[in-house]
Amino acid sequence: MQTTYVMIKPDGVQRGLVGEIVNRFERKGLQLVGMKSMIPDQTIARTHYAVHAERPFFEGLISFVTSGPVVCMAWRGVDAIAVARRLIGSTNGREADPGTIRGDYGMDMGYNMIHGSDGEDTAAAELALWFPEGVMEWTQDGQRWVYE
Ligand code: IDP
Ligand code: MG
């Protein structure tokens, strides 16, 4: 089992896509182990995107992600990190496959509605950053019908 960090960015919240996006993870069979909403401050946003600090789009990305509410989620399942990335689709919405979140709702590179951790190390770091209180440990009864 893996747990991955997924975040609906301010454009997804502003466009009223929260329910639509959450639904895709839920119906896929992932288990929700963390969920909250906040307007990120500069510190958390810069830490989260630190790997991109030298990129030309960095300051724009920080002002975007701190511009309004985000929905922070932790989703758990077998290979959850890669599964979430496949549900999300490739970075540019114009090129993302139809059927993915970005492919179905996005037309832009920066405004692509959603973040998902890209590996085990980043998932652990991002979960610690956004959920310092930890995630919920619980048994979802329906999970026994998700995995054979
Ligand atoms: P990812 O979200 O698909 O993992 P990354 O390359 O890690 O994509 O980039 C992080 C975020 O930075 C993207 O989701 C997007 O919002 C933004 N971003 C990436 N490249 C560009 C760009 O060329 N212009 C504007 N924003 C960008
Ligand atoms: Mg990334």
CATH code, domain carrying 102: 3.30.70.141
How far does CA 79 lie from the centroid of its chain?
A: 15
- Looking at 9, 46, 76, 115, which residue is catalytic? 115
Q: Is 16 a domain residue?
A: yes
- All residue ranges of the chain with pLDDT < 70 are none
Q: Is 141 a domain residue?
A: no
Residues 131 and 129: their CA atoms lie apart, in Å, by: 6
- The verdict on the CB of residue 110 being under 6 Å from ligand 1 is yes
- Write out pLDDT tens, residues 87-99: 999 999 999 999 9
Amino acid at 112: N
- The verdict on the CB of residue 109 being under 6 Å from ligand 1 is yes
DSSP notation for 116-136? E--SHHHHHHHHHHH-TT---
Hey, what are 70's tokens?
A: 């985000």
**115 classed as catalytic:** yes
Q: Is 147 a domain residue?
A: no
Taking the CA of 115 as reference, the closest ligand is: 1
Q: Is 143 a domain residue?
A: no
Contact between residue 116 and residue 80 where contact means Cβ atoms under 8 Å apart: no
Domain containing residue 24: 2-135
Indicate the top mutation candidate among 112, 113, 118, 126 to test ligand 1's pocket, ranked by most ligand atoms within 8 A of CB.
112
DSSP notation for 84-107? HHHHH--SSTTTSPBTBHHHHH--
User: In a 3-state reduction of DSSP, which class is residue 73?
Assistant: strand
Q: Is 61 a domain residue?
A: yes
- Write out pLDDT tens, residues 112-121: 999 999 999 9
Tally of structural domains, the chain: 1
What's the confidence (pLDDT) of residue 28? 98
Contact between residue 73 and residue 30 where contact means Cβ atoms under 8 Å apart: no
